[in-house]
Amino acid sequence: MLEPARPTTVPRVIDIPRELAASQEKFNGDAGRAFIAGLPEQTARFLGHWDLKPDGPPMHGVSALVVPVVRTADGTPAVLKLQILDEESEGEPVALRAWDGDGAVRLLDHDEPTGTMLLERLDENRMLSHVPDTHQAVLTIAGLLAHLTSFPAPHGMRSLGDIARAMLDRTPWALGRIPDPEPRRVVADLAAAVREVVDEPGDRLLHWDLHFDNVLASDRAPWLAIDPKPLAGDPGFELWPALDNRYDPDDVLWRFDAMTDVLTLDRDRARAWTLARVLQNTLWDIEDGRPVDDEQLEIARRLRSTGPRAPRRGR
């Protein structure tokens, strides 16, 4: 998700969003502070290296600075994305090269040592989150996922199987930190569902974070995905964000059925991998000292209790 910056000004170079500085300090500590301190120099370096000039105020998400730019040589609009290089961000250019603009933002250039990318500029004022019809938004997500996950994951991509096994290893520790027996039973059932599929994690190229704010409009395509955190795995692991966005417990099964239809997924397998996402989120909450999120558990309850396909209530 991109937000206009409320800046801390660095003269002649760029405005550093205060919110980005705060999130980097919160999530990355000393490394985050060092990243923020180095942003002016790094931004200036890549403006010169790729012959760019700024073309509007910077934007940011939780972890990246995004600077609208134009190529001086030909006036091509683009964005410069600067971020900490970690296990999530290092796969982003690999995935974007594999998709090559087909359903996702196009990668124009990339600096491997820093993870800095030059991307085509989409319309940040037209996000899928602005579409008022939730069912239309969900179906748009499903259509994008059906296309993006048709690509095989490039060699060396992070594996969903490794992530799922690590979650199962962590679950006994987490269960001991849930005092209420009913949520504890739900979390134990989530782990049981993951055990049923962990040995067949899949080999498709996953976006992993395709929520409504990570889909933007473009002149060349109605909607394109941005900001992947790519994995090699099963497309069923992709469905949770569209169940969680604009959360409505009574709509969970409609959305799940609509997406499994569009992606032509095995419903039981997709349910298990969606429950894996809920387990992942729950483990993160517990590790960060937060209480278990009942909305997450309610998504799990709805999916676990489902039998026949939910009635379709229109688009």
State whether residue 315 is helix, strand or coil: coil
What's the token pair of residue 75?
């006036």
DSSP category for residue 130:
G
Q: How many angstroms from the chain centroid is the CA of residue 185?
A: 28
Q: Among all chains, which residue has been given the structure tokens 């200036």? A: 44
Instruction: State phi, psi for 313 to the nearest 5 degrees.
Output: -110, 25
d(CA 165, CA 189): 15
Q: Which of 109, 111, 189, 209 is catalytic?
A: 209
Determine phi and psi for 8, rounding to 5 degrees.
Answer: -105, 115
**144 and 215 in contact (C-beta within 8 Å)?**
yes
User: Taking Cα atoms as reference points, which of 68, 71, 79 lies closest to residue 50?
Assistant: 71
CA distance 287 to 313: 38
Which of 199, 309, 194, 205 has the alpha carbon at shortest distance from 259? Answer: 309
Report the 10 Å Cβ neighbour count for 237.
26
In the chain the beta strands, taken as DSSP E runs, fall at: 3-4, 7-10, 14-17, 52-54, 59-60, 64-71, 77-83, 107-111, 116-120, 123-127, 204-206, 215-217, 224-225, 231-233
Active site residue 74: no
Which residues, 6+ apart, have CB-to-CB distance to 178 below 8 Å?
Answer: 184, 187, 286, 292
Evaluate whether 279 touches 171 at the Cβ level (below 8 Å).
yes
Please, which residues bridge with residue 116 across strands?
111
Active site residues: 209
